[in-house]
Structure 1
């Protein structure tokens, strides 16, 4: 493994500083120094020179003393020329200063970050304000070339340029042309008889070109990657019982044009060994049979595996670390019998001292209060060290969503071998926003909004939001507040208050409007590290504005059957949630689940319930691929009484509005008298209100709804109603089934704020589960970009419907700006 860049640069600087040339000096007749004069100084203070000069007034200077003085002055690195002479008893030192670096610029570098390069150069004195030594520059150029060669870029060109300035200053520029990394054209293993090249190299980072190389860049040669792959080769055989495996040679050849690499490795497999007796020795601390039970994972007679040895050793170490033995070590000592081809293992346990945690320290939280972090701790001060508790605390901090990164370190307390400090270093990120501006959504059009949203309000960990929104389909005023630690045990308390004026005709659903207001209070109770339950109680009022002739008739009939246009509800909600994700923003492993039962209580205008369940699971396939699977289910229905009424009405008539003799416009008839006149123009019909109210229906299709099926216009899937004018209006449904399979590419962008995925969506809504038909499910496939931009979250998807029916409204490119990811 090559040494870090900064260490190599420092070594080269020391070498160059010690390799001083010999300068011929005029012979000096011995004399006594009565004074010292220094000529040629521009930037350096004379006192600084005298500090390094090994001669003082009154000293006798001869040839040896003069040579010593020259070496001392050259060694400072300040001068490119130094000469000694004397004028009587005056020692005359004539110097030519090296120029100072006014500005240091590095351009063209991509593989090596500028800040890393500048840091390494500064450690050897090649930095702005420092003295310039051309020899250091030559050495640095050679070392940078070596570093790029290690990354497979053999065509790199590093061109230093020096611009002379007044007052003995320079501007130094390093121009780097990295070129392209050499491609691996062939990997050849010699001596592998039991396994094919493909089997052995499957998990290598180095590969020949393949269809994913554009993303993984695994066909680009790198010495570091090859070193790791050689170690994987060794592990491959040791994990399969080949104790005597040896790597005989490794050769890397490059083509004449320095663009292609050829890798050859010669190996000797040897024979397969099996495990013999497994024993435990040393101070096990715990009952020996407990440790032997862990070691018993390895069964005598099974094929030897170094990975299994490491797993057992780590399991024993972790078991001891969880009860305070932070520095425990387990050494699996092998006894090899080559005649029988067996390996006996003795796990030698060295627990070390039992350790207590003295202090837990937080660094980097300039905005978030310490108490917010401390309440997430599962490791406590003045208690025994527990590795599991420390790791769990880190995960809890990661899942808060306040930090871009969380690192943990343990440091021994000076002068004590049984105490440590645990240090959590966090890097804070934006946890909310204050916005006043304009947004645009493909579905809702222009959005004018003023919003305060903060998940870490004033660093307290409380969540609060205040929003005023106005666009083509709604006026909305919302306020919410949540204290996630209303009690020290993690019981949360919060409330919502809102007023909304909503015109659904501009939302790809049936034409009606509503004016609603609500007040809700909710409580959350943690059950375990990952599980919680919630309870919500609230009161709300919802005024439905449905219009005969434009609003779908089933919706008008529902309102008429109830006999009220304003629905008052006492509402309750019971929920259970589980979250085992490793990170709030960019999870790569874990699961989220939510099960929610919501119902209006007896005494409400209509009595109904809704049950919903969603699950998302992240599967890490490799460092470059994460698979996300998700499923959403929803169902609702009424309970208690149904509403049945007889109403009279006058049907609309077809009117000739353009005087062409043909009826072309439906005009609603006059309102019938009450009671009905029983004339030829009046009709009586029975209307019924049952099932889930239409204003609580689930919707599917598009990028915004819970039943997300991208590639179809938002909310347009499922049951619909076609008016007398031929206008199709989606109604939604009381049963929802939707899901997705998504492949995320976490390394396509270096930024954690952006990710690209390829997805497959399916789903639909139905008028009750009895009407569910699998062949009515819609499906699409496409790619998506999610980006947390400085202006707000942006989501863009391009999907192609692969299962559709006539009449479906297709919309391949969809985006949402200013909404939620």
Structure 2
């Protein structure tokens, strides 16, 4: 075995010794009749010929001999090179360096071996490459650097090189990781205004605590320290300390390399207030609009964050007029005596820019037109940053993409033009189900269906659904075209045959009540603004009720008044306003919808049922979102007829009030079976945050929730004292088969006749 050792000869020494071996011909040049290479095993002869400074028929002398030896050594392929002549034949004798046949690691726990192999390749050490002792030493240092970056300052690395057949070697890195060094102290010198605890809260690095096993923030990192120093600087600048400076930082480690102490020496200076704010430069007649965007006012404590928000708002404003490259240069004038600062915002709008071309990238399946019809920035028009933002939101709201990124790039030779690149990341929009499924309410379910939300990339959806659940059975076909007309009128067509047994939710398994509905309808959506759409629809329903003497009285009363079979022509009108940044995983914005369904004369049923829903998403940060949802619904019969019992609203379970059994809240029959109600009131609050270890992945998130709600009978008024409450936590996942939600709920106000269900799941809805 070959242990760690110094190179026996440096490149210069090897070249000199090799040159001394050149025979007497070196002093006497000769014409080369042929060239022969000896000693090659893996290197191709052509490689050697390519490096030689002489060809057949040329004169070879001692200068070219020295150059040839030096050049061949520098390739790194050979550890010995000799040149001699035999009757005009130039003979090149080489001894190749061994090749690395195997690269392995022993004692590695902190890193994945493949990750380390990739990092060593960057320093020239990899399988199939030539063995070089100096490269191995560099690899050892690289491994130590990787460990130091993660706080393993005591890590030791030693390599073992073993020769094997066919001039190859096996390289094994033996690693003693040792224990990770933790930050035991973070001290500040020079702070008078703020306590050390306040400053530590602004830092990512921290001393060990109960969450350190996950955050790793107690492990020193130069990159983290640099970021923390910037965070401290921003903290002071946002509070008016313009003279703040970090004078020095000291990082000390104990002799056993297990503990680290950080000492940060700062100068706070004095707090400054804003004495005045003025504009200069090319204001383009927009000064009055710019002044309305000021986040800082005269007399306010200076804030770097508010100044940045101001410059961004002005940049966005001028961007709507085609000035895509606006720069705002704040120039402060500091008065140390009065501790005030006067700000002058120098505006340079640059040139007005036009959009030459819009390029759609990443849509392997979706047609360009599906993306382009959502664009509100047009080619050959002024660049408008606000329209680009609106375009991005509209593309995200289609639901066909997990992410949309819009960038601009200059057009070479055209300083007043830019190209807009729309880069989308497609998500699977097709769903094929065949086989057995499981539902928290229906237990074992046979499902078969096919649904494609983006048929052939056209932006239309087509679905066929079959469900054999015991509570609900469905056979339906639906088609939705969001651009039925070129100006954005949508059309939705559906045909269905449904069987429902609402009492099955009660858990008694009764088969004595069943609603069978068959029908269809068509609905059109007319956009009235970028966010607002009004819907109109008409349909036909044929409904049959099967009842027995065991069926709750409300259902038997309906059959007595209307008969077992009814015909209904429901007319619907609705409104929706969607201002969310995404239809699948919203993080900000509002969604509102109102719907009214009326059983028109000509059918057997005369009723109306209206509902209103309002969702609001507030981003607390890039990773955390606070979401609110409220729903209110109300239904009554008219023309002297009762409200149809099978049009009742239900509440309870995921999608309404979690923690209670599905559809179990509200009015009940004498035997305790829930029958729903003609009106409903629901409220939900969710705090959404990323799954630990997933970064800011929006497709997989955790949430905590607080729910409230109930349903009320036709002759009841809304009664807040009858609301049910629950809290809990859950997981939402944008799975390949649709949005999936799992929740564990805990009822907070449970009445004796309430049924609870802790674990629930649902595929489809946002709340």
1:542 and 2:543 equivalent? yes
- Answer whether contact 1:701 1:713 (CA < 8 A) is retained: yes
The correspondence of residues 478-517 of structure 1 with structure 2, limited to 5 A, is: 478-508=476-506, 511-517=512-518
Aligned to 1:709: 657
How far apart are the structure 1 equivalents of 2:528 and 2:114? 46
How far is 1:792 from its partner?
Answer: 6.4
Aligned to 1:8: none
- Answer whether contact 1:441 1:818 (CA < 8 A) is retained: no
The correspondence of residues 303-382 of structure 1 with structure 2, limited to 5 A, is: 303-382=301-380
**SS of the residue 2:415 aligns to:** coil
- Answer whether contact 1:517 1:541 (CA < 8 A) is retained: yes
- Answer whether contact 1:758 1:783 (CA < 8 A) is retained: yes
Q: 1:484 to 1:292 in 2, by over 3 A?
A: closer
- Answer whether contact 2:678 2:713 (CA < 8 A) is retained: yes
- Answer whether contact 2:505 2:664 (CA < 8 A) is retained: no
Q: 1:33 to 1:729 in 2, by over 3 A?
A: farther
Q: 1:20 to 1:390 in 2, by over 3 A?
A: farther
- Answer whether contact 1:181 1:221 (CA < 8 A) is retained: no
1:433 and 2:431 equivalent? yes
**SS of the residue 2:557 aligns to:** helix
- Answer whether contact 2:502 2:675 (CA < 8 A) is retained: no
1:740 and 2:684 equivalent? yes
1:699 to 650, 659, 663: 650
- Answer whether contact 2:38 2:91 (CA < 8 A) is retained: yes
How far apart are the structure 1 equivalents of 2:317 and 2:328? 11
Q: 1:157 to 1:595 in 2, by over 3 A?
A: farther
Q: 1:797 to 1:256 in 2, by over 3 A?
A: farther
How far apart are the structure 2 equivalents of 1:815 and 1:180? 43
Residues 304-344 of structure 1 show CA distances to partners (whole Å, capped at 9, x for unaligned) of 22223322222232222222222222211222232333323
- Answer whether contact 2:428 2:736 (CA < 8 A) is retained: no
2:703 to 723, 745, 757: 757
Q: 1:746 to 1:55 in 2, by over 3 A?
A: same
Aligned to 2:567: 568
The correspondence of residues 106-185 of structure 1 with structure 2, limited to 5 A, is: 131=130, 133=132, 135-154=134-153, 182-185=181-184
Aligned to 1:674: none
How far apart are the structure 2 equivalents of 1:177 and 1:590? 52
- Answer whether contact 1:791 1:818 (CA < 8 A) is retained: no
- Answer whether contact 1:275 1:343 (CA < 8 A) is retained: yes
How far apart are the structure 2 equivalents of 1:595 and 1:262? 60
How far is 1:165 from its partner?
Answer: 7.4
How far apart are the structure 1 equivalents of 2:217 and 2:622? 12
- Answer whether contact 2:147 2:153 (CA < 8 A) is retained: yes
Q: 1:628 to 1:105 in 2, by over 3 A?
A: farther
Aligned to 2:668: 720
Q: 1:502 to 1:309 in 2, by over 3 A?
A: closer
How far apart are the structure 1 equivalents of 2:258 and 2:108? 19
Q: 1:445 to 1:357 in 2, by over 3 A?
A: same
Residues 687-722 of structure 1 show CA distances to partners (whole Å, capped at 9, x for unaligned) of xxx3x322111112222xx4x222222111221113
1:785 to 731, 737, 745: 731
How far is 1:183 from its partner?
Answer: 4.4
How far apart are the structure 2 equivalents of 1:399 and 1:156? 51
The correspondence of residues 593-742 of structure 1 with structure 2, limited to 5 A, is: 593-642=592-641, 690=642, 692-703=643-654, 706=655, 708-723=656-671, 728-742=672-686
How far apart are the structure 2 equivalents of 1:760 and 1:448? 33
1:25 and 2:18 equivalent? yes
How far is 1:99 from its partner?
Answer: 5.3
How far apart are the structure 1 equivalents of 2:756 and 2:280? 70
Q: 1:314 to 1:623 in 2, by over 3 A?
A: closer
How far is 1:372 from its partner?
Answer: 0.8
Aligned to 1:530: 531
Unaligned runs of 5+ in 1: 1-15, 643-689
Residues 661-706 of structure 1 show CA distances to partners (whole Å, capped at 9, x for unaligned) of xxxxxxxxxxxxxxxxxxxxxxxxxxxxx3x322111112222xx4
How far apart are the structure 1 equivalents of 2:274 and 2:576? 45
**SS of the residue 2:748 aligns to:** strand
How far apart are the structure 2 equivalents of 1:581 and 1:411? 27
1:556 and 2:556 equivalent? yes
How far apart are the structure 1 equivalents of 2:687 and 2:175? 36
- Answer whether contact 1:620 1:626 (CA < 8 A) is retained: yes
How far apart are the structure 2 equivalents of 1:111 and 1:334? 49
**SS of the residue 1:189 aligns to:** strand
- Answer whether contact 1:294 1:316 (CA < 8 A) is retained: no
Aligned to 2:721: 775
**SS of the residue 2:601 aligns to:** coil
**SS of the residue 1:385 aligns to:** coil
Q: 1:788 to 1:173 in 2, by over 3 A?
A: farther
How far is 1:106 from its partner?
Answer: 9.0
Q: Point out the more displaced range, 255-264 or 118-127.
A: 118-127
Aligned to 2:4: none
**SS of the residue 1:730 aligns to:** coil
How far apart are the structure 1 equivalents of 2:665 and 2:337? 72
- Answer whether contact 2:19 2:66 (CA < 8 A) is retained: no
How far apart are the structure 2 equivalents of 1:601 and 1:113? 68
How far apart are the structure 2 equivalents of 1:106 and 1:773? 69
- Answer whether contact 2:295 2:309 (CA < 8 A) is retained: no
**SS of the residue 1:287 aligns to:** coil
Unaligned runs of 5+ in 2: 1-6
Q: Point out the more displaced range, 257-266 or 153-162.
A: 153-162
Normalised TM-score (structure 1) = 0.83
Aligned to 2:205: 206
How far apart are the structure 2 equivalents of 1:490 and 1:110? 57
How far apart are the structure 2 equivalents of 1:110 and 1:368? 44
How far is 1:518 from its partner?
Answer: 1.5
How far apart are the structure 1 equivalents of 2:367 and 2:691? 32
How far apart are the structure 1 equivalents of 2:237 and 2:573? 53
Aligned to 1:661: none
Aligned to 1:187: 186
How far apart are the structure 2 equivalents of 1:300 and 1:600? 62
- Answer whether contact 1:243 1:272 (CA < 8 A) is retained: yes
- Answer whether contact 2:434 2:447 (CA < 8 A) is retained: yes
How far is 1:59 from its partner?
Answer: 5.0
Normalised TM-score (structure 2) = 0.88
Q: 1:815 to 1:227 in 2, by over 3 A?
A: same
Q: 1:793 to 1:595 in 2, by over 3 A?
A: closer
Aligned to 1:592: 591
**SS of the residue 1:798 aligns to:** strand
Residues 589-630 of structure 1 show CA distances to partners (whole Å, capped at 9, x for unaligned) of 222222222221123212111122222322222344322222
Q: 1:298 to 1:814 in 2, by over 3 A?
A: closer
Q: 1:71 to 1:309 in 2, by over 3 A?
A: farther
| Residue correspondences, number | 746
How far is 1:811 from its partner?
Answer: 2.1
- Answer whether contact 1:152 1:223 (CA < 8 A) is retained: no
Residues 753-800 of structure 1 show CA distances to partners (whole Å, capped at 9, x for unaligned) of 432222222222222484443333222222212334456665432222
How far is 1:369 from its partner?
Answer: 0.8
Aligned to 2:3: none
How far apart are the structure 2 equivalents of 1:488 and 1:258? 70
